[in-house]
């Protein structure tokens, strides 16, 4: 049985049984500390001897420039943005994630389709449609959802450079100013992520926990996952 499967769709020309490695997703809204935890996790896994790769939204060679350019003028409609993000995602899946998994890497992914689905739904996309669009994506081995409420999120965002236009949903203004819109928008995004958490089996972690404690918890969970897979693999090689 292949180690990986998709959410129902297919990736043309890709044999899923060639894929080894692990796909680990860190999800959570903007400013929750994903970047910190990804880099801690990476250092930890490399110490243990695992080869680690990283990817995140808008890092594709194909579409990231175009999306950035489009955002400057806020000139694309909702469907076009959603599909542009899907293009970026697919390019990274095929050019970053799949090669790493073929080579047996641990691929750490800073946000995955779930954030993209959540932001699309908040902007009015049909949930069924946007989930179908991403049905070609691989099911990760684990999704860790760093959960935070808006009240705890605001001070973090303020000390880290303030409210971002897009992360405040200013393209669909929801309040009088950036602050109001941020609160409204983030509440809806978090609400969507919460509902996806059940549907897609996230492991939800309280992101208001002390950063070192949370990092350790995360490292432990991932180590356990990798080691249990390794021992399973060994059993299948050595007959009892």
Q: By CB under 8 A, name the one of 173, 179, 194, 229 that touches other proteins.
A: 173
Signed CA dihedral, 178, 131, 12, 27: sign only = positive
The region of 39-47, 81-89, 158-166, 217-225 touching other proteins under the rule CB under 8 A is 81-89
Q: By CB under 8 A, name the one of 107, 113, 118, 125 that touches other proteins.
A: 125
Does 102 help bind other proteins (rule: CB under 8 A)? no
CB of 34: closest distance to other proteins in angstroms? 25
d(CA 119, CA 191): 11
Contact yes or no for 95/61 (Cβ under 8 A): yes
Q: Which bin fits 21, alpha (ψ -120 to 50), beta or left (φ > 0)?
A: left
CB of 198: closest distance to other proteins in angstroms? 23
Report the relative pairing of strands 106-110 and 203-206 from DSSP bridges: unpaired
Each residue 181-220 as x (binds other proteins by CB under 8 A) or -, in order, gives ----------------------------------------
Does 13 help bind other proteins (rule: CB under 8 A)? yes
Question: What are the Cα distances from residue 149, in Å, to 5, 42, 160, 194?
Answer: 32, 26, 17, 11
Residues 6+ apart with CB under 8 A from 159: none
Interaction site with other proteins (CB under 8 A): 9-13, 61-63, 65-66, 69-70, 75-80, 82-84, 86-87, 90-91, 94-95, 122-126, 129, 132-133, 135-136, 172-173
């Amino acid at each position: 049985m292949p180690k990986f499967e998709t959410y129902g769709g297919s990736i043309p020309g890709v044999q899923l049984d060639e894929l080894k490695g692990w796909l680990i997703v860190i999800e959570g809204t903007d400013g929750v500390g994903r970047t910190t935890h990804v880099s801690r996790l990476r250092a930890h896994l490399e110490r243990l001897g695992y080869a680690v790769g990283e990817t995140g939204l808008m890092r594709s060679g194909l579409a990231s420039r175009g999306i950035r350019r489009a955002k400057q003028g806020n000139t694309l409609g909702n469907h076009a943005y959603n599909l542009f993000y899907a293009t970026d995602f697919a390019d990274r899946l095929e050019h970053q994630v799949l090669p790493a998994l073929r080579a047996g890497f641990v691929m750490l992914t800073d946000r995955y389709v779930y954030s993209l689905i959540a932001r699309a739904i908040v902007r009015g996309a049909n949930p069924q449609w946007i989930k179908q669009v991403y049905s070609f994506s691989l099911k990760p081995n684990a999704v860790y959802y760093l959960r935070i409420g808006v009240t705890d999120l605001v001070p973090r965002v303020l000390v880290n450079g303030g409210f971002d236009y897009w992360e405040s949903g200013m393209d669909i203004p929801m309040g009088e100013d950036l602050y109001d819109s941020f609160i409204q928008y983030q509440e809806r995004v978090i609400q969507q992520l919460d509902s996806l958490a059940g549907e897609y089996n996230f492991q939800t972690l309280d992101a208001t926990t002390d950063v070192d404690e949370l990092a350790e918890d995360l490292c432990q969970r991932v180590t356990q996952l990798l080691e249990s897979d390794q021992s399973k693999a060994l059993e299948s090689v050595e007959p009892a």
